Structures are given as C-alpha cells and as structure tokens.
Structure 1
C-alpha cells in the first residue's frame, strides 16, 4: 500500500542531508572497458606496470649515441623502429633519433645542436649518462602506478597506453535523467506575461558532466501527476532529477508521485536557505530520485546538496571534505538553517558577491563557491566552502 507523503514538517540539517544522500547510493558494478571509454570513470583496481618503461635504454634527443670521449667516428644511424647495427666501442658514434633504442656501449647522447660533424667524424662536449632514458626509468614491471579510486582523465589514458594496456576496470559514470516540470516555463526567447524562462534545464547537463555523470536528454513535463508518474517509471537512469515539483503547492506532484510508486522517502526537506523543499527518495528498483526546487538558485543548492553526493557514491568515491575559509567582516547567520552564500575566494578569505535570492543566478554566476554558514546566534567569521564546480577539488585539499 502506498505511503501518503505530507508537506515536510521536519528537515534534516544540511550536513545530515548531504551525508544521507551519499550513504543512500550504492557504487555501480565494476566494468572492464576499452581505454577510449574510460575517460571520467573511476579506477576500480590499481594500475600496475606489466613491464619496464622504457623496456630498453632509449635516446632522449635527436643526435648521436657516443661511447667514451670526443672525437668519435660515425658508424651508422638508428631510427625509432630500427635496431642497433653494432656495439659501440670507445671513440665510436651512431646517429639516433628521439626514442630510438641505444646501441650497446652507449655512454651518452650528444644532441644535434651540440655536435660538430666533419664527414664521418663527430665532436662535441658530453656528460656521461646525459640524454639517456634508462630501462625502467618511468616504471618497473610490477610497480603500482595509480591506486584504485583514481579518476581517469586524459593523462591517465596516455599513461596506460604507454604501458600497453587496452582495457581498464572502472566504476562507470552514473546515468542521470532530468525531468523539468512546469506549465509556466518557456525554453526560448523572452518570457511573456505569466511565463518564466527555464534556467534549470540549461544548467543541468554541464553540472552533471562536471560531477562525473552522463546526462540523458532533458525531459520537459507540464504540471501533471500522471505524466510525472509515467516519466519516473520510464527513466532509464541510476539517478533521476525532478525540478519544479518538490514543494507542497497544488502543482507540486513529486511527493504524491513517489508515494504512488512506493518509494522510500529518505530526505523530506533540508534546513537550509535557499533550497529547503528538496527531497531524496529511493524507488523499489533501487533508482534514486532527487527533487529540486523550482527557483534556479535553490535548485542549484539542492543539486550540490543531494545530487552531487549521490553521484559521488555511485562512482565509488568518498564524500569530499569541505575546507574552511575566513569571512572578512563576518556573515550573518540564520537561527535554525544553514545559509548557502555565493562567494569569491581570494587570499584574504571568502567575499560575498550578492544577488543570492533563491530565484537569482547572478551571484552564483559570479562566484566560485558557496560559503556554508552554519546556523547560530552570532555572526560567522569563517565558513566551509562548497565548490560551485562539482568536479573541482576543494581549496587547500
């Protein structure tokens, strides 16, 4: 039998809601994927070098492999794919290109720009061992190079290709569907009387990409309980975002829809400003649903509070710690709710940028973080910083 969800009468603390959202998700199953498909995913096992890199001594410069001191007699040339024709002995040199395997007997590489060539004679100043990439200089066989939990980025892909690996075991990026509701919303041009230009829909794909998720095409719905029910049931995603239907007004159908679907309501309002009427639920099949308020800045706060921790856990990552910064001049606190204030972070701390109403995005667009101002009676002189870019590392970490 379906549970009837009333309007929230109690709210979790902001920290409690964030922690509950992270705990509610379950890391996605590990998959072995081609390295071309691993970008943005999280390593599920360490990357271990299968062999030495480089596997042989290689030249680090275009020039001449030499043995002993100058001058040298030139006895051949080696390309990257070629093998050394001879073993060098004292007084001999061999032309090489960057990356070429060095002939046995090489004591140094003389760069082209430092070489004086006269027929088959080469001279120049060298230092023993200079410009030689030694066997195993980058890594040795069996060495752990990257721990499990590392986020795969393009440089990681280059490294694993260098190692000769073709696949990686990863926790894949979660799939997220976004349902944007509201009869009043328009998607192009200036809003007319009684209509509002949708600002949440354009934000979500970029926010999801930065949080390490894969965004499905945004679905736009009227204020219809039946259509919301159908869309929630049909969403092929690990997490579903619903904006504009999370409060308790006559057009807010999220909680009744969740009740009809026998969802488990995990967060029913959060004691924060803005973003109080946000919600988190788990459907019987395990999918998570996050309810975002309809006001744009409030929706952004809810996304950072509930959606990002859930995505982080789905990716198999820990909940990031937030570092504190001083607040020059102090910030006013709310008596019972956490304030989320757009700030710019500078050498002297966090400064508010203003324009922080729940319907405003001007402040957030100028800011690089939200100051998390805990409730209390006195002005706050420090606050934790919540990055507005979900993929950014917190300051000082």
Structure 2
C-alpha cells in the first residue's frame, strides 16, 4: 500500500535506533552526533577577568600604575589600593579591589600615572558569567560542528561520546549502465552513483562502497548478503517490471517491508525494508531525479535516525510561480531562493537532474496545496 510522503519520512525516522556510542578525540567528533548531554566541566570565565585591554583601577583617578598583567593563571595576586591601577590585557585575571577596567583608548598615560573617565560599564567578566560549571551546553543528539568542538574544548573536554556513523553500501543495478565514457545506443551513463555519496554524508552516513550489479535476482541477492554495513541503498529494481527483482529478493530474505511505494512525484516506486539481522534496505528508483527525491524521502531520515541526530523542525518558504498541486500526491519541485520567495526552476522530469542541479532546495508541495507556504529540503 502506498504511503503518504510525510508519513513515509516519519516511518523511516522511527525505524532507526541510534547506533552504539563510541569515544573519540575532539578532531574525530566533527559531524557526529553527541550520545550524551554535555555539561561544562569548568566555569567560563574561570575567574573574574578583564573584558578589555586597559587598566584595572580602584577609586577615583588619576591612578598610580603599579604593574602589568597579561592573560594567564587565574590568580588575583595583591589587592589594589585606592588610587592604584594595574595595566591589564583582555582575559587577564583582575586584582582584588578592582572597581572597573579603564579601556586603553579612554586613558591618558603620563609617566606612571594614568587618567581617564570611567565608562558606564565595568568591563569585567565575572566568574561563570558566560557558562557556570555544570551547565548543560549541548544536548544529546546535537551534531558536532566546528563551533561545538571549540565550545567543548573551552569547557574542558579532550574526548566526546558520539554515535558512530551508519555504514552504507550503494548497489546500482542495470545492464545498460556505464560508469565512464560516452554512452552508445541502448546505454546510459550512471548518474545515481555520483549523486549519492554527498547525500549520504550530509545525512550523517558513511559510504562504504558502491557496487554495480546486473539485472539478475541472483546478483542482487548476493549484494544484500553482507554484514559489514547498516544500510544497503539499492538503486533501480524497485518498480514492477521484468528486471525489477528487489521485492522478490526481500521476500526470500524474510524482510519486513515498512514502506512500499510513496505518494510523491517523482520517486513513487521507492521502499524501505528491515532485514532480520537489523540492517535496513532502501530501494531507490532508477531515474536519477526520482532517486534524488527518494533519497531525501526515505534514505536521509533513516540515516539521521541511525546517526543519533535530534529531529529538527522543518524549514519553510514561500513558493512563487505556476506550480500545480496534485490531488493525492506530494510534488518535490526544484527551486532557487530569492530575497522573498522560492522560485521553481523547471526541467524536473524524473530522469533529468538538470533542474535539481540548478536548484538550492526541493519545495515540498503537498496534495491539494493552495500556497504559498511549503516545506523545503536543502540540496
């Protein structure tokens, strides 16, 4: 039974339990999802520090400069007495007794005496003002970005607990496919193999390899007999023609078919199945744009779930132009972003990637849509 587009994506996400957690150093965590919440191991700042280059002062000026302090160990040292100042760098611990930091650009130094009008701000960052010790700074399921790595380091982490990436094998079936050179009559260049690695990586997966198999049930069955991956993405062989063997092969393997066809265009003949050993099989259509649409419909949500990514609210935009909604199917329409709207680019037949290659997003046009708001899938 054909599944609605939104429901199919939810089924794919719900079918995925996050994979096991591993411990990696900070550099190895980039792009992975946190397996546990991240509390700060230290306060930021660790002690009261200067927010400016200038002079830590006590009392009213002018002030006698008694020394200099650069950023370093969190020690307050001797206290300032009234009328004293300490030249100080941004991030350096302020001495006890400091009233405020006089910014260097507001100061006038003459000999060992500094004068200036104190600003309204004290320019002092208090201990724990930015992040108190123990405060949760990132949630489990957050994808580790470059900024997250810097944050983790700043609050004391050397290693992180993350979910490993789901390993994916791509199996492209078709006697007519070429991987290099110019096709001749009856042949076509494979376009799906080159487009899937980027989609898989963006969704949190790791492409193990790409295999090309003939339109034979035995060849397809052999390609699924593996235990070194979490997901097998089969391209082609998902329809009901004489060369489409995926469903019978899955039946022989006693797979549980979770989605068998999705009410969307392009990409209707796609499927999702769970094998008895816990692996998943995603069937993608053989037409390139249909395969891309199906990849965003079933493969990407499945990989996000396996990788432990937290669900995110959908992105939306206003679609402008002559777009006709279908009565019962969702349309996935290539579009580009402008200042105020999404504009369809056309050239969106199932076998043609020209429109998708020109586009920024796929606009999700639901059945009986009357506009203008739509969900968008970034490309």
Contact 1:177 1:241 survives alignment (8 Å): yes
Alignment match, 2:9: 18
Counterpart secondary structure, 1:281:
strand
Counterpart secondary structure, 1:218:
strand
Q: Does 1:388 pair with 2:378?
A: yes
Alignment match, 1:31: 22
| Residue from 102, 108, 116 that aligns with 2:100 | 108
Matches within 5 A, 1:1-397: 10-81=1-72, 83=75, 85-127=77-119, 130-234=122-226, 236-317=228-309, 320-322=312-314, 325-328=317-320, 331-346=323-338, 349-376=341-368, 380-382=370-372, 384-389=374-379
Shift of 1:382: 4.1
Moved more, 42-51 or 157-166: 42-51
What do the CA deviations read for 1:307-352 (whole angstroms, capped 9, x no partner)?
A: 1221222233465554665554653233443222222344654432
What do the CA deviations read for 1:81-119 (whole angstroms, capped 9, x no partner)?
A: 254553211121222222211111222223333333333
Shift of 1:55: 1.5
Change (3 A) 1:46 1:221: same
Q: Aligned partners of 2:313 and 2:61: how far apart in 1?
A: 59
Q: Aligned partners of 2:199 and 2:276: how far apart in 1?
A: 27
Shift of 1:264: 1.7
Normalising by structure 2, what TM-score? Answer: 0.89
What do the CA deviations read for 1:157-176 (whole angstroms, capped 9, x no partner)?
A: 11121111223333333222
Counterpart secondary structure, 1:74:
strand
Alignment match, 1:392: none
Shift of 1:278: 0.8
Counterpart secondary structure, 2:85:
strand
Q: Aligned partners of 1:264 and 1:210: how far apart in 2?
A: 27
Change (3 A) 1:198 1:235: farther
Q: Aligned partners of 1:151 and 1:135: how far apart in 2?
A: 28
Q: Aligned partners of 1:26 and 1:387: how far apart in 2?
A: 23
Stretches of structure 1 that go unaligned for 5 or more consecutive residues are: 1-9, 390-397
Shift of 1:304: 0.9
Contact 2:230 2:279 survives alignment (8 Å): yes
Contact 1:275 1:293 survives alignment (8 Å): yes
Length, aligned pairs only: 378
Contact 1:107 1:129 survives alignment (8 Å): no
Q: Aligned partners of 2:113 and 2:373: how far apart in 1?
A: 70
Q: Aligned partners of 1:388 and 1:190: how far apart in 2?
A: 31
Shift of 1:187: 2.5
Normalising by structure 1, what TM-score? Answer: 0.86
Q: Aligned partners of 1:322 and 1:84: how far apart in 2?
A: 49
Shift of 1:281: 0.9
